[in-house]
Amino acid sequence: MLEIRNLHAKIADTDTEIIRGLNLTVKAGEVAAIMGPNGSGKSTLSYILSGREDYEVTEGDILYNGESILEMDASERAASGIFLAFQYPVEIPGVATMQFLKVAMNEQRKYRGEDELTTPEFMRRVKEAAADLRIAPEMLRRPLNVGFSGGEKKRAEILQMGLLEPKLCVLDETDSGLDIDALKIVSDGVNALRSPDRAFLVITHYQRLLEHIVPDTVHVLYKGQVIKTGDKTLAMELEANGYADIIGAAA
């Protein structure tokens, strides 16, 4: 589903290279965890996948279902099924949450040549998904993410993910800022979406999240490269021994 080949990327208009020859393959149905110390390029990778313009790919390619996505803008990537759950969801005063959800769902459907949702159908879907994530209706009446607590913002991201039904879900430190109850709700939300035709890229610092969202593969990112790949036991090993051994072995 996702194939990243020898990817090099830098911050636009600078010489600061963040991703330095990254290779990664994620198959449909797979949950791949990306772990790594601070500054290894984890969040940058998620931004590049989503099409953020602050980064420039200088070499290599990103193939999604066999096609390069480098020429697609953020909205086209999203509409074709790539979803990024943000580490820091953006507050947008003046944009109503419900209006945002409706426009996003319908614009994606339009892109794929599907009919727009009727208002009752839209309302039904939001109501159901919100109830599963224990999102109160009052929250949905507020402007997008405005005044949401950290946990509410993360739940709102998972709500969007559920409603937009993406094929490739990138979760950027979704566990940060969550207490144990919120972590459970969010993880359940993610697990409910696991399916044979959907892949997840779970970016995290800690093994904690991976106890709830159990990965098929674990990749260690360091200085913009994947330096080690393993199964879920690799995450436990990291939790016990830290990154030093692996970094030392790779160097």
Partner 1 sequence: MNIATPILTPIKLTAAETALVDAFTRQVGELPGDGMVLVARDNALDGIKTEGLPTRRVESWHYTDLRALLRAIPADTNAPFIEQRPGLVSNAFVLPVLNGKPDVKTSIDGVTIGSFRDRLMSDDHAHIEPRGSDDAIGRINTSFVRDGLVIDIADGTTLERPLELQLSQSAGQSHMRFAVSFGAQTKGTVIERHSSLSDDASLVSSVSDVVVGDGADILWIIFQAQGPVDTHLAQMNFKLGANAKLTLYVINTGGKLVRQEVHGVTVGEGSDFQMRGINLLGGDTHTDVTFTLGHDVPNTTSTEIIRNVIFDRARGVFQGQIRVAPDAQKTDARMACNTLLMSDDADFSAKPELEIFADDVQCGHGATVIDINATHLYYLMARGIPENKARGLLINAFVAEIVEELDDEQLVEALEDVISAWLDKHA
Shortest separation between residue 79's beta carbon and partner 1, angstroms: 4
One symbol per residue from 129 to 168: x for binding partner 1 (CB under 8 A), - otherwise; what is it?
--------------x----------------x---x----
CB 81 within 8 A of CB 166: yes
Choose between 89 and 215: whose C-beta lies nearer to partner 1: 89
Partners of residue 64 on adjacent β-strands: 2, 67
- Kindly state the number of chain residues that form the binding site for partner 1, as judged by CB under 8 A: 28
Among 7, 33, 78, 169, binds partner 1 (CB under 8 A): 78
Shortest separation between residue 160's beta carbon and partner 1, angstroms: 6
Choose between 27 and 52: whose C-beta lies nearer to partner 1: 52
| CA 30-33-37 angle, 5° bins | 165
Q: Does 93 bind partner 1 (CB under 8 A)?
A: yes
One symbol per residue from 32 to 51: x for binding partner 1 (CB under 8 A), - otherwise; what is it?
------------------xx
Can you give the three-state secondary structure of 142-172, one letter per residue?
CEECCCCCHHHHHHHHHHHHHHHCCCEEEEE
Q: Does 176 bind partner 1 (CB under 8 A)?
A: no
Q: How many CA atoms lie within 13 A of 69 on its CB side?
A: 27
Closest alpha carbon to 44 in 32, 55, 59: 55
Give the separation between CA 189 and CA 8, rounded to whole angstroms: 33
Q: 39: Cβ–Cβ under 8 A, 6 or more apart, which residues? A: none
* Residues engaged in binding partner 1 (CB under 8 A): 50-53, 73-75, 77-79, 84, 86, 89-90, 92-95, 99-100, 103-104, 107-108, 111, 143, 160, 164
